[in-house]
Structure 1
């Protein structure tokens, strides 16, 4: 490394780093609190108008913005789309060169520009208005060209950016993102959007698995279920436990109703009490009234039961209490429900 490179190498000042980090968080927190106060005192009606436009949209919500506003716009569009509102992001520069054809009069256009004067947006906003498309503007200047052109203006003004130079969009992008999230939350609630709706739009994610996977999808059934009759000798029940490999066996009556369960834990506790149990029958040592779940319940509910009662196995029964399957905590782990 030459002497110039050494000379220009940034110095590490831990105290200054922490001071700037703290100031950044304080400035952005203050910006959000100011947004919240202004929202309650001044902009509530504009927010309601915006939500109403989104709810009544017959087409799609199209979000657009340049630079950092564009990055925030992509996230807002993605949040709306994942919470029940068809939405997409269109780059204003691309829109001016052909992508404007994606937008129809049935859509609602959300334009993001802190200055409210972004050339790329202002070149297409008048055309969008002439098409009859409703325009929501999110800017930091209510008197800006974009704000004046919009059907509804949402004010995301901040006193200053967190950037020490007061140049890089920081606090302003935070307020814009937060207000976009507020829009999405208000709309999803008004639509009656619920957990199962969210899961349908996230089938590949962990949340989707939790909200869509049923007990019937992961339970053991048929010959894979360890089961013995109530009059089975304990020794024979232990062979069934070992054979099926989930550290327990269900106990059923003559009609197949689940009346008990015997686990490895029960065996350890039994050994502590007595040394000889060659003649014991399973009904005498089983845990009665076992925890059960039906196959049409969500697998996530099975997880909740196991966690609540600190158990690793769960019997699956039908409406009459007949044994139809069994679950082990590992089954839920392998299915990535946990």
Structure 2
């Protein structure tokens, strides 16, 4: 763990976040990076095209299961691109962002862009705040002992919550499917009425699902088709969970009122690698290993997050705000520790 806290004070001519924002802007870290995103779209697009072509060329072959694993990584990278688009890191205006987001999300991976935008906006507004952040609401998992005791989940649900730390990774294999189910239910529910063009989104989701099932049915025999689906969707869910879970789970869950900077910093952690692995982590996690910087500046282009880290870390040290970063393994240990503690009252 690498946490820096000092009591040094600095002259104030605005809120802490306003002071930090001026430093970040002066360093040019909010500038667009069109070249980076052109290259990234080309690489992800080429990978997706190669996966589709490979699927049809391989036909009835056990090698399809390896392709399914590779396709799960491609899906994850498409999801990360949609995430950057949603945060206006790629396009300045809403219209091109919404069009591209629906192509990547609804049509590309079968997940509603509009539904996810609404959910993710609430997460960014109040990260790790119970009752406000949808990512810490009780469901298949609980995040506090109070949730474990108060959630009416039946005998099976209580068993899962009791052992949720041990079951966490198997549960993650269902995350991709659950997000799709939730996005359809969200679009059809009361909140979905506020999503622009929700019927278009539902139609695009249907096109994705029909094309996916048709391709499996035409190219693969039933047994291999089911195996491909299980490997592809299971690893996709595991990959998504590996991207997002290390960033907030096991961090503070505030109940008091906090200013914007402290609300974002103390609820997030950065994941750091060594000299040879940090770049790989950045690519695999889509820059979200710099979660503190992302939450402070959501529209900052992904490649700038790494450059913003020393600026943010130094500022947090000056004002005495804990800045937490750790290794990937340690981040998982902290997240699983929270799950273990939350399920404790049921044991």
Same fold (TM over 0.5): no
Greater share of strand residues, 1 or 2? Answer: 1
Greater share of helix residues, 1 or 2? Answer: 2
Larger Rg: 1
TM-score by structure 2 length? Answer: 0.26
- RCO higher in 1 or 2 (8 Å CA, sep ≥ 6)? 2
TM-score by structure 1 length? Answer: 0.26
